[in-house]
Amino acid sequence: MAEADTGAQVICSQVSRKRKLSFIFFLLLSICIPRAHAQEGAQAASMTLDECIDYALAHQPYINQSLIGISIAKTSNAINLAGWLPQVTGSASAIHYFQLPTSLVADSAGVRAPIPTHTGVVNTVIPELSATQTLFNPQLLYAAKAANLYVKEARQITDSAKIFTVATVCKSFYNLLLTLAQINVLKEDTARLDRNVLDTHNQFIGGIVDETDYDEAVITLNTSKAQLKQQIENIAPQYAILKQAMGYPSKQQFNVMVDTAQMMQDIAFDTTQEMEFDHRIEYQQLQTAKKLQHELTGYYGLSFLPTVSAFYNYFYEYESNTSSGLFSTAYPYSYIGLSVNIPLFTGFSRIENIHKARLQERLLDWSQVSLKAEIYTEYTTALANYKSNLYSLQLLEDNEKRARNVYRIVSLQYKEGIVAYLNMIVAESNLITAEVGYTNALYQLLSSKIDLEKAMGDIPYNH
């Protein structure tokens, strides 16, 4: 009963064994989540692989962080480009003289020496309005050229996060299906071995076989039970891994569902396609980084140009020797002008910055060479794994059918007393190995297809 509470529930479905891949699809179709992971008092939702992917694309924290990164890039561009707009500031100053400043006023007749004279008023308040408009600035020009590239870079980071998430969800989903399928295989084997133990016990009591045959049957049954228990216990952490990849709440539960027809379509892949570097998001990110670096080099090259700005200042000055009459009379004045700032000598920093930027461009060129080699190695490895796993699946499917047929014949021969129980043990062991090997082969094939799609840059992530 305890094993039933923690084991995998099954939804039985029969598929013709004459069809290719039918055995494993029967197992996968019959899978559902164990009772131990069902919500108390609530029916757990059922999700297909596509639904898991859609959920992950909407809720995965890393993806949502990268989406915020796009907004941050746009906001940063707005900040950097704000310098092209008029800059308006307001200020005010208030001055009270305890002793007025002294000026030397020359004698109009030129007879006497200049006369010291106090000038100004005791109290002065001057509100000021200043407006500045940049007409040309190399730094703002660079910001304008690089703005779209920064947004593009942020979008590519999001695309990379989506691709990684889709690949991780698919692999976690398939790994969970593999475990559930193996549970069903081991359940079938355990039930079969349990019947063998009962038959062997009856034959031992009847004197048909000796005690060692009965002990061997029990040993084989206990081994199968231990393997079944181990796989059942693996379900909880594998669900946790899938939830983490999806961004799914850890306390909420759901069942996995599989569409066998869709699964058959997912296995197929056109291996004659040519790999294009431009399809890889890593290559696209590197191209964007090279364009940004090229713009930076161009900025350093133009940094010798002057910064040109127009400005306008307006003053509304109040003056009085008494506090009570300070704001009774105003003396406004204003002016407009043009400022030019030319960097004549910067300690060779501009030349060194250009040299550094060009070296960084060369680094990115070599990074592109390295990335191409890495992508090609990843592609050839993934393609070889996919082809070998597809071939292995076809052979192991045949092995499973033959092992099942051999076990059926040996079982009948053993019941008739034609062969020894050792033949039964060998046939049973070969059948279990064939069944588990077949389920493993299908998972390896599906997993290697994900790796191949990723290597070719063909993983769909815009659901």
Q: Tell whether 168 and 314 lie within a shared domain.
A: no
Q: What is the C-alpha end-to-end distance of the chain, expressed in Å?
A: 42
Coil, helix or strand for 318?
A: strand
Neighbours of 422 (CB within 10 A): 12
Q: Is residue 113 part of a domain?
A: yes
Asked whether 330 and 148 are in contact (CB, 8 A), the reply is no
The residue written with tokens 């713009």 in the block is 295
Q: Tell whether 233 and 358 lie within a shared domain.
A: yes
Number of domains in the chain: 2
CATH classification of the domain holding 66: 1.20.1600.10
Residue 128 has phi, psi (to 5 degrees) of: -135, 140
Asked whether 145 and 295 are in contact (CB, 8 A), the reply is yes
Dist CA 135 CA 341 (whole Å): 12
Helices 61-81, 138-205: inter-axial angle, 10-degree rounding: 180
Written in H, E and C, the secondary structure of 185-201 is HHHHHHHHHHHHHHHHH
Is this prediction's pTM over 0.75? Answer: yes
14: domain range? Answer: 2-77+143-293+350-456
Half-sphere exposure of residue 151, counting CA atoms within 13 Å on the CB side?
A: 11
Q: Is residue 300 part of a domain?
A: no
The residue written with tokens 């031992």 in the block is 204
Q: Tell whether 362 and 328 lie within a shared domain.
A: no
Q: Tell whether 174 and 198 lie within a shared domain.
A: yes
Q: Tell whether 100 and 236 lie within a shared domain.
A: no
* DSSP alpha helix (H) spans, 206-274: 211-233, 235-246, 260-267
Q: Is residue 211 part of a domain?
A: yes
Asked whether 31 and 52 are in contact (CB, 8 A), the reply is no
Half-sphere exposure of residue 339, counting CA atoms within 13 Å on the CB side?
A: 13
Residue 134 has phi, psi (to 5 degrees) of: -75, 130
Dist CA 250 CA 463 (whole Å): 24
* DSSP alpha helix (H) spans, 303-420: 349-415
Task: Provide the residue-wise pLDDT of the chain in tens; the chain has 463 residues.
Answer: 333 333 333 223 322 333 334 434 434 434 433 433 333 334 678 899 999 999 999 999 999 999 999 999 999 999 999 999 999 999 999 999 998 888 887 776 666 777 788 788 899 999 999 999 999 999 999 999 999 999 999 999 999 999 999 999 999 999 999 899 889 888 988 888 888 788 777 777 877 667 777 788 888 889 889 989 999 999 999 999 999 999 999 989 999 988 767 776 778 888 888 899 999 999 999 999 999 999 999 999 999 999 999 999 999 999 888 888 888 889 999 999 999 999 998 899 999 999 999 999 999 999 999 999 999 999 999 999 999 999 999 999 999 999 999 989 988 887 787 887 778 888 888 888 898 898 889 889 999 999 999 999 998 877 6
What is the model's pLDDT at position 43? 60
What is the model's pLDDT at position 21? 40
Dist CA 61 CA 244 (whole Å): 10
Q: Tell whether 149 and 129 lie within a shared domain.
A: no
β partners of residue 115: 105
Dist CA 439 CA 182 (whole Å): 7
Q: Tell whether 259 and 322 lie within a shared domain.
A: no
Structure tokens at 392: 């292995």
Q: Tell whether 428 and 363 lie within a shared domain.
A: yes
Q: Is residue 43 part of a domain?
A: yes
Pairing of strands 8-10, 31-34: antiparallel
Neighbours of 158 (CB within 10 A): 20
Dist CA 281 CA 165 (whole Å): 14
The residue written with tokens 């990849």 in the block is 245
Written in H, E and C, the secondary structure of 7-44 is CEEECCCCCCCCCCCHHHHHHHHCEEEEHHHCCCCCCC
Q: Tell whether 12 and 106 lie within a shared domain.
A: no
CATH classification of the domain holding 111: 2.20.200
Dist CA 321 CA 167 (whole Å): 80
DSSP string across 85-129: S-EEEEEEEEEE-SS--EEEEPPTTS-SPPEEEE-S-SEEEEEEE
What are the DSSP E strand ranges found in 242-378?
Answer: 254-256, 307-320, 330-341
What is the model's pLDDT at position 6? 33
